[in-house]
Amino acid sequence: MVADVLSQGAPGTQFAIADRHPGVYGNGPMKSRLILPRRYRPQLGVRETERAIKALKDFFELNLATELSLSRVTAPLFVRSGTGINDDLNGIERPVAFPVPDLGGSQVEIVQSLAKWKRLMLAELAFEPGFGLYTDMNALRPDERLDNTHSIYVDQWDWERVITPADRTVAFLRLIVGKLYGILKRTEQFVYERYPAIRPLLPDTLAFVHAEDLLREYPRLSPRARETEFVRDHGAAFVIGIGGALSDGSLHDGRAPDYDDWSTPAEDGRPGLNGDLLIWNPVLKTAFEISSMGIRVDRAALVRQLEIRGCTERRRLFFHRRLLEGSLPLSIGGGLGQSRLCMYYLRKAHIGEIQSSLWPTAMVRACRRHRIQLL
């Protein structure tokens, strides 16, 4: 339950301090939620943490490239505004933008993710089905609500792989998710061999569940609380079908209309060829999102989802025209949070123990009192 509430820092900002799932606490545009685990003690000091981050990232990146047949490409930090290339996530987040005099004053935007840019690069570099690319991406998301797992600064492996029309199924989605989960398991063993005090916890089997099933099983809970209850029981899960309306008209979570396919009916008739990979976080005692991914929209799904979201004007943008004219390959892809992975494997309570970012003064003070050393 809530142990304390801080109202220091920016006016209107509050931090709900607790050792349980953050979704049960207050909401509102100016509120952030912070979990301070009781009796928390870091497994590694700051210098050893930095060494562990380097080794862990190197191991995971090599396995990701090998397992999914991906080639590394250099990622942009910014793209031109008005092209439809930048990811607008849930459709409301504002990108950081600025004019460039030597580009005639054209506006450019710092990327929020590379979901659409990667698909353009698959075409540009002529990847064949079964092969793809990944990037070491850095991004800014200024509208994030800062807490244990969310930061203004985003670092992730963004990956994309060419598929065939026959691959646009939930069965193929599950196959790729299984490969990613195998990497998670191997990395956990890698960490354990170097730091025996950090014992492996991931279950041997990954549970798959549709967002509609979670609604039916936990009808009175919020989507985040549903995830926590399910992942608490199973240890790890992939939630299918995120972005489209559920049977009660609600959304499990938001998704932009122009990258993941959340509207195409799957083999069982339920919509969605995408989802989130979640694992149980033993420090925060909650479901922990590691990856958002999915089979991407084809022409029919793009038209349908733009109409559902009421933004058909996007068809005129560069990326959308390329897709509608058939010059982009079918693909599957997603992102894997680098700091989040390190946070989980090294049993950290706050993402700020992994990456250097900015945090409200009240949050920094509260973390310091609970032995959470933010970089």
143 is catalytic: no
Choosing from 19, 87, 160, 260, the catalytic residue is 87
- Only one residue has tokens 């930048």, namely 86
224 is catalytic: no
Distance CA 121, CA 92 (A): 25
276 is catalytic: yes
Residue 86's DSSP bridge partners are none
Choosing from 289, 340, 347, 355, the catalytic residue is 289
87 is catalytic: yes
**SS3 for 330?**
coil
Q: Are 122 and 134 in contact (CB under 8 A)?
A: no
Choosing from 33, 119, 141, 161, the catalytic residue is 141
Helix, strand, coil share (%) of the chain residues, nearest 5: 35, 25, 40
Residue 280's DSSP bridge partners are 287
Distance CA 235, CA 52 (A): 24
Choosing from 292, 305, 339, 355, the catalytic residue is 292
Choosing from 14, 112, 156, 305, the catalytic residue is 156
φ, ψ at 357 (rounded to 5°): -145, -165
**SS3 for 298?**
coil
356 is catalytic: no
Among 98, 77, 323, CA closest to 314: 323
4 is catalytic: no
Choosing from 61, 155, 276, 298, the catalytic residue is 276
Q: Are 35 and 351 in contact (CB under 8 A)?
A: no
Angle between helix axes 170-194 and 338-345 (nearest 10 degrees) is 50
Q: Are 155 and 339 in contact (CB under 8 A)?
A: yes
In which region does residue 63 sit, left (phi positive, over 0), alpha (psi from -120 to 50) or beta (all else)?
alpha
In which region does residue 130 sit, left (phi positive, over 0), alpha (psi from -120 to 50) or beta (all else)?
left
User: Which residues form the catalytic set?
Assistant: 87, 141, 156, 276, 289, 292
